[in-house]
Amino acid sequence: MTQSLPNEMVGQLRRQSLWLKDSWQWVLKTKVLGKKGTGRLKALEVGCGPGFVMDIVKKLVDVQGMDLDLDMVSMCKARGLEVTQGNAEDLPFRDREFDVVYCSFLLLWVKDPVAVIKEMARVSRRYVLALAEPDYGAWIDFPQGLEGLQDILIKGMKATGADPFVGRKLRGIFEHAGVWDLKRLKEEFDDQRRFVRTLAGPAGRTRQLDAIEAAWKDALEKGTLFHYNPIFYTVGVKDR
């Protein structure tokens, strides 16, 4: 992190670790561990903070952490975690030292996320992961009466120097860092464009849609194209 975390932020990170525990484990199990050979992988968490994510993933990988904040480093060491003090843009590790290098709720705080991902790629033999980076622009509040909460959060994050919209920028960040291949996405562009044209119908063949397509294609080439449609699921359990 870029500065010492107040108790309120440490508490928030603890809550996030509870909310996202299953997600982090799923990503590692399906996207990383399901593709590996024998033996446990060696992992590094960049910007580990108080080490809550490390507590969760250490059952799956041999993990150590790194953080800029000496207080966070001390907090982790007091709980038996292996953590080094260092800068995310200049990692104090050898090239290809780890199998997996990941971060969580880090990129929104750094000045140059592309530089950070490049450094993570340098010390990784294979996998570079952003396990969780928020996008407060996609925040949903319900029911009525909570309007304004999103604006408070966004303004508050900006006031601390954070980027509240970093989530939607991850594709571009990874592309510019050289660890994301846009080839498949570009191949799918024409199919998606035709689908949108079909939904729009004859009345949709307008200058507006032409302009949208042009902006869409430009963003695709730059690696910044992003669409987000909230999809939910629920599981009901009947009493026997």
Q: What is the pLDDT of residues 153-195, one digit of tens each?
A: 999 999 999 999 999 999 889 988 999 877 777 777 777 877 8
- Note the pLDDT tens digit of each residue in 189-209: 777 877 888 888 776 667 788
In percent, the amount of the chain with pLDDT more than 70 equals: 95
- Average pLDDT score, the chain: 89
Choose the weakest-confidence range: 56-70, 84-98, 152-166, 183-197.
183-197
pLDDT at 205: 66
Is the pLDDT assigned to residue 94 strictly greater than 50? yes
- Sorted by where each starts, the structural domains of the chain and their CATH numbers stand as 7-31+39-176 (3.40.50.150), 182-240 (no CATH)
Asked if 163 contacts 173 with a C-beta cutoff of 8 angstroms, the reply is no
Per-residue pLDDT tens for 222-235?
A: 778 888 888 888 88
> CA angle at residue 102 from 216 to 34, to 5 degrees?
90
Helices 207-222 and 183-200: crossing angle, nearest 10°?
170
Which stretch of 16-25, 33-42, 45-54, 152-161 has the lowest confidence by average pLDDT?
Answer: 33-42
